[in-house]
């Protein structure tokens, strides 16, 4: 399959035309119009500093259904303890900046959350599409996550922790919020043992796109 060069307008090829690794297209920009169009179609940007923008739609897709989140005993105990204070949308820029500096296996620091990506998602936050969860310890940011909400779908982008389990506590609070507001799915994009341990699983891209169609459009 070819990798598509995108035009000047936010028009994407069908996700089914992606390469086996999920790479679909190259080019475009990170304006709110492009990003919202991409997420609605089951596509997300992921690229390195100095590279052109790459757009992906992997098959299968790693997702977490909120009702399947595994709130293990130790996590329940930690949440109940009140060790962390959890907020939403109070320090989006602090969260995305911390995520960009988090060390990850197989990646250099800040590999894909480039300065341009940070600026793009801050714009989405200002428009009400992107959201963050902050986990605070003694008033300081200890962990958190951010993503994009469209319809009843939350597209998780990244999480970080400075204190052990702080990101898990943030995710736990996000899941509770999504369940209370009848969200159907968290798109977690990456297949990792950590996410699997919390209940995430792979589903066919076709099923993923059908869920988007039923809950966004």
Burial 113-150 (b: 16+ CB within 10 A, else e): bbeebbebbbebbeeebbbbbbbbeeeebbbbbbbbbe
Helices 73-81, 166-180: inter-axial angle, 10-degree rounding: 90
Give how far the C-alpha of residue 10 lies from the chain's centroid of Cα atoms, to the nearest Å. Answer: 20
pLDDT, tens digit (0-9, with 9 covering 90-100), for 3-19: 778 878 889 999 999 99
Structure tokens at 199: 């209940």
Across the chain, what does the average pLDDT equal? 93
Tell me the average pLDDT across 154-172: 97
Q: Other C-beta atoms within 10 Å of 30: how many?
A: 18
Determine contact, residues 172/71, Cβ cutoff 8 Å: yes
Q: Which residues, 6 or more positions from 140, have their beta carbon under 8 angstroms from its beta carbon?
A: none
* 23/20 Cα distance (integer angstroms): 7
Residue 43: closest CA among 31, 58, 33: 58
pLDDT, tens digit (0-9, with 9 covering 90-100), for 17-72: 999 999 999 999 999 999 999 999 999 999 988 889 999 999 999 999 999 999 99
| pLDDT over 60 at 110, yes or no | no
């Amino acid at each position: 399959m070819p990798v598509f060069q995108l035009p000047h307008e936010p028009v994407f090829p069908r996700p089914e035309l992606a390469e086996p690794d999920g790479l679909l297209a190259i080019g475009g920009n990170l304006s709110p119009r492009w990003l919202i169009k991409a997420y609605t179609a089951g596509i997300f940007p992921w690229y390195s500093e100095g590279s052109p923008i790459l757009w992906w739609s992997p098959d299968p897709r790693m997702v977490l259904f909120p009702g399947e989140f595994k709130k293990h005993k130790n996590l329940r105990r930690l949440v109940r303890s009140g060790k962390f204070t959890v907020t939403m949308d109070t320090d989006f820029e602090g969260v995305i900046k911390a995520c960009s500096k988090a060390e990850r296996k197989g990646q250099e620091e800040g590999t894909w959350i480039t300065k341009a990506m940070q600026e793009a998602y801050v714009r989405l936050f200002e428009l009400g599409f992107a959201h963050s969860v902050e986990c605070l310890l003694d008033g300081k940011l200890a962990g958190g996550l951010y993503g994009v909400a469209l319809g009843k779908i939350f597209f998780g982008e990244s999480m970080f922790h400075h204190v052990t389990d702080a990101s898990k506590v943030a995710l736990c609070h996000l899941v509770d919020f999504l369940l209370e507001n009848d969200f159907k799915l968290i798109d977690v994009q990456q297949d990792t043992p950590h996410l699997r341990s919390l209940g995430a699983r792979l589903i066919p891209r076709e099923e993923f796109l059908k869920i988007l169609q039923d809950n966004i459009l």
